Amino acid sequence: MFKNAIYAFGATTLFAFIGNSSAKAQQAGPVKGLKDYYSSYFPVGVAVSPQSLKDGKKSVLIISQFNSITPENAMKMGPIHPAENRYNWRDADAIVAFAQANGIKVRGHNLCWHEQTPSWLFTGDDGKQVSKEVLLQRLKTHIDTVVGRYKGKIYAWDVVNEAIDDDSTKFLRNSLWYKICGEDFIFKAFEYAHAADPNAVLFYNDYNTERPEKRERIYKLLKRLIEAKIPVNGVGLQAHWSLFEPSEKDLEATIQKFSSLGLKIQITELDMSVYPWEKNRRDKLPGESDAFTAEKEQQQARQYAMVFNIFRKYKDVITGVTFWNIADNQTWLDDYPVKGRKNYPLLFDQNLQPKKAYRGVVKF
């Protein structure tokens, strides 16, 4: 179904209209994509929705540029398992089918998180909070079912997502998972995932990993997992970055720190906001500009070029880089942290054309 839809534009749609929109360029020959530039380094992926796969131009762009995809939301616990005895497989199945039809790898995202988690998980029939034993059994059933369904089709999973607290004076996030289970939910999630698919590569995934105070706490967690012989294989650096961070020094220090544990590293959710980092949601301020100026465009190109230079330098430990969304016409950063403030964080613009940042990434 998906393969036929993808080629609905005709045989020339995979030609070099990307990067040059002239009619002449459309006949130039097959486009060289990010996956081709980085074929000797690591897979280059992108987060997708089922809707983006049905969009002919976007599906062409995905196939031509990327060789790995991550479901942006379709495999998170809330969307895929909204009730204890009900699973929504349609969207996740569609993404996996698209990938298989086009020879694209799939990263599963994610099995255990404090957000987008259905409320039934933590509540018993009596309306009260469940015990640790009940919650861990529900987590096991969820992981057995989801990982088992895609065994052999999904090569890697983000098993536990964002378990470290944002407060630098604390260690683990005080989520319902932690309140009910303590740190055991993290240990057990990896054990359950490994049992469900022993060949899958299992990641702990988090943001702000390059900030020294958070990096140290993530390292502490990973070291404890390894010492307890928990089957964690890698760490995912979400890489929701900006024109202003990370610095080259902090990024290299992060890669060196985590790789010293013998773990694989993947860049799992890469985008480059044109605004400084903010965590808390807020309204757009009167007169606040959201123009993508020439200066910002140049800054972004330099920042992207810098981080990819480091990725290439550490290709022996970095085993994948995934962008979080396809192009600037649809990005989660348009609604977070400032709703309605346009952002321009990706390599392709609102018309799906490559930006200066794209050229900075592929010219090496």
Catalytic positions: 269
Give the Cβ contact number of residue 66 at 10 Å.
22
Residue 249 half-sphere exposure toward CB, CA atoms < 13 A: 1
φ/ψ region of 316 (left if φ > 0, alpha if ψ in -120 to 50, else beta) reads: alpha
- CB of 142 within 8 A of CB of 189? no
CA angle 50, 237, 293 (to 5 degrees): 75
- Label residue 343 exposed, middle or buried (CB < 10 Å: 0-12, 13-18, 19+): buried
DSSP E strand stretches across the chain: 44-48, 68-71, 105-112, 156-161, 201-206, 234-237, 240-242, 264-273, 318-323
CA distance 93 to 79: 13
Give the DSSP letter string of 16-58. Answer: TTTT--SHHHHTS-BPP-HHHHTTTT--EEEEE-HHHHHSHHH
Pair of tokens at residue 277: 């980092």
Give the DSSP letter string of 263-321. Answer: -EEEEEEEEEESS----S-BPPPTT------HHHHHHHHHHHHHHHHHHHHTTTTEEEE
